[in-house]
Structure 1
């Protein structure tokens, strides 16, 4: 007879993945004492220590804990699949939904999507994760996330992409930049000036490839992995930068004006959309999320980020 619950397994997985009861508490919105008690009960039931308690460094999984974590993740995924089957039969959308989003535009798109989706589907328990492109691919393959909002950058053949918006590249410049008063710029214009490169895996390769069309190399003055830092560096005239999602504000995070100009000529646009594993569409929650995001685009509710709707 089983003497542990799915809820206890959920708490164990949250601690195992975050390495901290405090972080797990924030992630699943459950009090730390409740999580700690559940872990102790599981260890007593299994007769195994699952974690090594390190006061300065949080919790580390034991060898047994690492093996049990893999199995617990599998059990929770299968339990979620049972909820999907029940939802299909009953015609309801419920259960957990883990959504990943590309770091470069998560702050502009994901909160809006999540708020509206959770209002329409209150029985779905949604979690979000901000990652770079390579991390999103890995998380989907390991079933750590169910769906990812991202660009069509180097998409693997084993993942399925639903396009939502076509986003051409744009240039971000300070108000004092020599090109700031133009109505548009070309890649040739930009190649003559210092660049602040958003240096994320695959994203950086895309930005650099835009210069291949003109046979030039950019003058990279600064690199950053943070979108907000990039905009502040542009606002402080360290150089221009290139992005695909239009900022909602015409100022940098530290208050300096930033101009956004279209890039004229033969430049590759990116498609923003939803990426899933090949079998993810069997989930009622994933299907509902894709349909909700497509409708949001079709009704113009994401027009503020720029681009051409494809959904």
Structure 2
């Protein structure tokens, strides 16, 4: 197509004005520019668009009607594209977030609720899945950012540190362990373990037991974080988790979180994106809110940690 979007707009202006001279006056465009635009448009179409009649302005040809109908659709799409870009450059543009599945119920809704309270409404899409799938979604451009642990696949993009996630235990309130402030993994192994069995997660959790030379009795497995918590709540045994939420989850009834006294490796929560130092404004605000939320949850765990 040789005619530019601006020249297509000139052609449409002639039709709306009814003559080249009137379009020139109303739009402050030279008649020569309008004539050049019509000539290019007619070359693109391969037919005349206007029947120019002296003293009567212009009349659309049948092919001209088709051309202008298509031109209106094109210009409408261009306006939508431009408006979408302008919105994306503000704090109110849409944001597509991918997160390691357990992070959804643990913190994402709290973080996003606080963010909406602070900056106002914006469209949110949340993809909750395993880290391998998140890497694939990020590389395909299906999400703007991934919230993950610094474990597993290499995310070849911008990584930003959010916070540390030390392992801790959860037990049923009826367990003798629930009366303690902190326990060891050896003590936790005195009852069956409900295991979160997501890719990479199982390997990491079982490695923790290797650190203290313990072999746990796995009594329950699930790939869903909240299901594991419900299992603990129902007396299936204890479990090991990493993120200590800023606010207790509704599914935590009849459970208690306990510090672990063992010196265990702790993963970091990070974000991964392809924006580098040119992140959209609402992504910058999201990362800021996420850091504050994770720090709050860690403070809930930290005061007693020194005593352990």
Aligned match of 2:96:
98
Name the CA shift for 1:224/1:80 in 2 (closer, same or farther; >3 Å): farther
TM-score by length of 1: 0.61
Say which SS state the counterpart of residue 99 (structure 1) adopts: strand
TM-score by length of 2: 0.62
Aligned match of 2:169:
171
Match of 1:261 among 258, 262, 284: 258
Name the CA shift for 1:83/1:284 in 2 (closer, same or farther; >3 Å): farther
Could you list the runs of 5+ residues in structure 1 that have no partner in the other structure? 2-74
Q: Distance in 2 between matches of 1:213 and 1:195?
A: 17
Could you list the runs of 5+ residues in structure 2 that have no partner in the other structure? 2-76, 304-308
Q: Distance in 1 between matches of 2:184 and 2:155?
A: 33
Q: Distance in 2 between matches of 1:252 and 1:141?
A: 34
Match of 1:202 among 182, 200, 203: 200
Name the CA shift for 1:98/1:85 in 2 (closer, same or farther; >3 Å): closer
Q: Distance in 2 between matches of 1:120 and 1:163?
A: 22
RMSD: 3.4
Aligned match of 1:125:
123
Q: Could you tell me how far 1:141 is from its partner in structure 2? A: 1.2
Say which SS state the counterpart of residue 94 (structure 2) adopts: strand
Aligned match of 2:285:
288
Q: Could you tell me how far 1:193 is from its partner in structure 2? A: 2.8
Deviates more, 1:154-163 or 1:132-141: 154-163
Residues 209-228 of structure 1 correspond to what in structure 2 (within 5 A)? 209-228=207-226
Q: Distance in 2 between matches of 1:138 and 1:305?
A: 34
Q: Distance in 1 between matches of 2:205 and 2:83?
A: 39
Quick check: which one's helix share is greater?
A: 2
Q: Give the number of the structure whose alpha-carbon radius of gyration is greater.
A: 2
1:207-244 CA-to-partner distances (Å, cap 9, x unmatched) read 11101212333211110112222112112221111111
Q: Could you tell me how far 1:98 is from its partner in structure 2? A: 0.3
Say which SS state the counterpart of residue 111 (structure 1) adopts: helix
Match of 2:85 among 70, 76, 83: 83
Say which SS state the counterpart of residue 177 (structure 2) adopts: coil
Name the CA shift for 1:305/1:153 in 2 (closer, same or farther; >3 Å): farther
Confirm or deny that 1:235 pairs with 2:233. Answer: yes
Aligned match of 1:58:
none
